[in-house]
Amino acid sequence: MSFAPFHRPGTVVFLDDDPDYLEMLALAMPRQWNLRLFQRPQACLDHLAGEPAAWEADAWRQQALVDRWRDGQPLLPQLLQYWSASAERHALTRVVVVDFSMPGMDGLQVLQRLQDWSGSRVLLTGQADEQVAVQAFNRGLIDQFIAKQMPDMARHLVHVVQRLLAQPHPRHVHTWRATLRPEHVAVLRLPGVGADLEELASRRWVEHVVLGDPFGVLGLDAAGTPVWLQLEQPSDLPALAETAESAGLPVSAVQEIRAGRQLANLEVAAALGQAPTLAEAFPVGGTGHLLGALFPLAGTCGEGYAAWLAGQPRRRVEG
């Protein structure tokens, strides 16, 4: 799928022995990123040492949601509860950016000591270090290297880190893709569908998960407000209309669903113990193969990413 089935924010760690350079990076990086800045390799390694266990525990919590779904528990309320109770997920480091040329322990030596840490790795190099960086990339030790002397280096670094942050961990993809049926995967791969969903998600949400039961995307904005994006294939509209009629919705609503002008959140409402509602349908992908409708959900999931980020220490060089 071109649209990531799982996305959430995370922390970005920078390691460089030059504190002035770190301060410059802190000013240049987007304010919506949570940053940790380290001057000493050992301080950085100590910070990251406990993360593999935290990553594993979080991955098992997500897998447990899917396992309970297989046993008959609805996915959506479980995911809302997980988001509400797991604000610490934002603190997990997604990307580490390390300077190669440092006294005592160079950047590659630092990265080699992070054997159990599974995030993305970026190496900052000088002109004389390029061949070393190429060899490290070819060996799979790093995901990207960037020359510190390149023009507009900070903007290029932001682009690289943004791309890496947008790539979900393969384990998360495997966990949540298991909820999708083959026809869901097929329609999400259609030209234009992934691009439309990516544009909508990046504009509205900081976090999302694609679900297959029911089919749609559960998104979370920066304030912690959840929204359900219901996805329906036109061929499924007659069945949705029949279910709406059985649920007692007015004849006019059933006709709107059958015509593809509105969708009803019947399964989501049932899972949350609420009355179903209608929302205007819109095409996704411009191919006529998929319709979407947005349903705001009541309440918030914890404090929200914006409030969590505001509560983190200010950007300063540590160690």
Identify whether 301 is part of a domain.
Answer: no
- The number of angstroms, rounded, from the C-alpha of 311 to the middle of its chain's C-alpha atoms is 21
**Cβ 289 vs Cβ 193: under 8 Å:** yes
| 209-237 pLDDT per residue, tens | 999 999 999 999 999 999 999 999 999 99
Rounded to whole angstroms, how far apart are CA atoms 214 and 232? 10
SS3 of 248-289: the string is CCCHHHHHHHHCCCEEECHHHHHHHCCCCCEEECEECCCCCC
| 53-80 pLDDT per residue, tens | 999 999 999 999 999 999 999 999 999 9
Mean pLDDT over the full length of the chain: 93
Rounded to whole angstroms, how far apart are CA atoms 93 and 287? 38
Identify whether 12 is part of a domain.
Answer: yes
**Cβ 228 vs Cβ 268: under 8 Å:** yes
> Where is the domain boundary, 168, 201, 233?
168
Tell me: do 86 and 154 sit in the same domain: yes
Tell me: do 145 and 13 sit in the same domain: yes
Rounded to whole angstroms, how far apart are CA atoms 265 and 237? 12
Tell me: do 118 and 221 sit in the same domain: no
Tell me: do 148 and 183 sit in the same domain: no
Tell me: do 236 and 180 sit in the same domain: yes
> Model confidence at 127, in pLDDT bands (50, 70, 90)?
low
Identify whether 136 is part of a domain.
Answer: yes
**Cβ 14 vs Cβ 22: under 8 Å:** yes
Residue 2 tokens read as 């071109």
> Model confidence at 128, in pLDDT bands (50, 70, 90)?
low
H-type helices in 71-143, by residue range? Answer: 75-85, 107-112, 130-138
Rounded to whole angstroms, how far apart are CA atoms 241 and 81? 30
| Pairing of β 11-15 and β 93-99 | parallel
**Cβ 258 vs Cβ 237: under 8 Å:** yes
Query: In a 3-state reduction of DSSP, which class is residue 238?
Result: helix
| Domain with 16 in it | 6-168
Rounded to whole angstroms, how far apart are CA atoms 154 and 28? 6
Tell me: do 80 and 146 sit in the same domain: yes
Does residue 297 surpass a pLDDT of 90?
A: yes
At position 173, the amino acid (one-letter code) is V
